[in-house]
Amino acid sequence: MSGPAPKPGDGAEDASLVPLELLSEDSSVPSDVASQHRDATAAGWWRGRRVGRWLGRWRVPQDRRLVGPVLAALVVLSLPWWVGSYGAELLVELAVVAVLAQWWSLLAGAAGVISLSGAFHAGTGAYAWLLLVRYAGVPPVVAVMGAALVSAAVAAPAAWALRRLPAPWAAVGGLVLAAAGSAMVTAIDGSAERGRTVRAAATLGPLLRRSATIWLGALLVVATVLVAAAFLRSEAGLAVRAARDDEEAAVALGLKPEKPILALWIAGAAATGAAAGLVHLSSGVVAVGEAFDPLRWVLVPVLAALLGGSGMVGGPMLGAVAVVAAERLLGTAGGLVAVSLSASWLLLGRADGLAGLVVPWVRELLWGQDATVREPPGSSTGSTGRR
């Protein structure tokens, strides 16, 4: 049985300040010091528990951090062979909600721009995909990228016009554009409400269609995460966040956030158009009600972003998982109600949502990055604070 823990300042070394490398390589370090170190670095209710200490041993070394992404890529590549049609549909829905929530989070959380034009961009992408496949003879998989380009091209003048309006009118203007687009398509195509079947998508075969939708969805998620992370760390990201906090001060410092915001809006429209093409590639049917549905393309991503934590990279992904799981377990209406109540309750306590609870744990348990900030040696208090 070990004796009492040494106190800082009595000549002994504080266990919470012993480097992790010393504990893992130097066998002369007492076992009670190593145990105190693991207890000190475990955050929240895991501190001092056996499971938390056991997981703390499985931190990824610096030279093995590519093992996780490589294994994840191999798993994604193998998914079409061991998931059925329901599993593929679930994965596509999860990817679409995650992508849309991430782009809405960047606009609202980082730039401070509330955009509700997702249904308009999705409808544009859906019918661009339909026209490219049915009348231009473009392969259905390639047409998904074409839908992204068309959505970006249409979104450029729309975003420029909406940015000239006051913020509340600009948000409502996105919904008006979606309603106008739906009415225009219905007036041109009398069978738009019943939907049009795309035979070229049906001729791909079940396995090839599952492979295309799963892999394209994974590629879209990875591209969205990389672009979001790069934007938040770039000078343009700093400029839009400065303008969000104080626009007059940002302009006085010579920052020009308007072009980055428009670029962010157009890039989000392209991702939304690609997501719409991906959904209709999976179903093989394009109907006007589904293509311009504000519930699917606006409300669900917004709830996912708010629940997960807007303005960051990991938050919308966690929110997408929670929203899709709630919809599958409780139905569409019950899931949205449950997610809305959970988001409201969570936002009252912390604005970073689920990401503020989960991300510090992942960093601590996998990479050894402490989720807490320790008091300096000799401090009168031993409390810790969040980074």
pLDDT one-digit tens code per residue, 34-61? 455 444 444 444 444 444 444 445 454 5
* Residues sharing a CB contact under 8 Å with residue 380, sequence separation 6 or more, in sequence order: none
Classify the C-alpha dihedral 290-299-352-347 as positive or negative.
negative
Could you tell me the pLDDT band of residue 127, with boundaries at 50, 70 and 90? Answer: very high
267-311: pLDDT as tens digits: 999 999 999 999 999 888 898 888 999 888 998 898 888 888 776
Buried b (16+ CB within 10 A) or exposed e, 341-373: ebbeebeeeeebbbbbeebbbeebbeebebbbe
Q: Residue 274's pLDDT is what?
A: 95
Taking CA 260 as the corner, what is the angle to CA 144 and CA 97, rounded to the nearest 5 degrees?
Answer: 40
Instruction: Name the one residue in this structure whose structure tokens are 């929240």.
Output: 44
- Count Cβ atoms within 10 A of the Cβ of residue 29 and give its class: 0-12 exposed, 13-18 middle, 19 or more buried: middle
pLDDT for residue 322 = 86
124 neighbors 150 (Cβ within 8 angstroms): yes
> Please, are residues 373 and 385 in contact by the beta-carbon 8 Å criterion?
yes
pLDDT value of position 83: 85
Residue 325 burial by CB count (10 A; 0-12/13-18/19+): exposed, middle or buried?
A: middle
Please tell me the distance from the alpha carbon of residue 127 to that of residue 385, in angstroms, as a whole number.
Answer: 51
Contact 323, 307 (CB under 8 A): yes
Instruction: Identify the pLDDT of residue 47.
Output: 41
| Torsion, Cα of 310, 313, 314, 319 (10° steps) | 40
Confidence of residue 147 (pLDDT cuts 50, 70, 90): very high
pLDDT band of residue 383 (cuts 50, 70, 90) is: very low
Label residue 137 left, alpha or beta by phi (over 0 means left) and psi (-120 to 50 means alpha): left
Mean pLDDT across 142-157: 94
Band of residue 375 on the pLDDT scale cut at 50, 70, 90: very low
Confidence of residue 18 (pLDDT cuts 50, 70, 90): very low
| SS3 assignment, position 286 | strand
More confident site: 155 or 338: 155
Q: What is the mean pLDDT of residues 222-232?
A: 90
Q: What is the mean pLDDT of residues 131-156?
A: 93
> How high is the mean pLDDT of the chain?
76
What pLDDT score does 31 carry? 53
Q: Which residue has the tokens 């626009």?
A: 247
Q: How many CB atoms lie within 10 A of CB 254?
A: 7
- For helices 85-105 and 258-283, the axis angle rounded to 10 degrees is 170
Distance linking the first and last C-alpha atoms of the chain: 35
Provide the pLDDT for residue 284: 85
Inter-CA distances, 361 with 100, 270, 372, Å: 25, 33, 10
Assess whether pLDDT exceeds 90 at residue 122. Answer: yes
Residue 218 scores a pLDDT above 90: yes
Q: What is the pLDDT of residue 366?
A: 56
- Closest residue by Cα to residue 1 from 22, 24, 31: 31
Backbone angles phi, psi at 373, to 5 degrees: -115, 120
pLDDT at 6 over 70: no
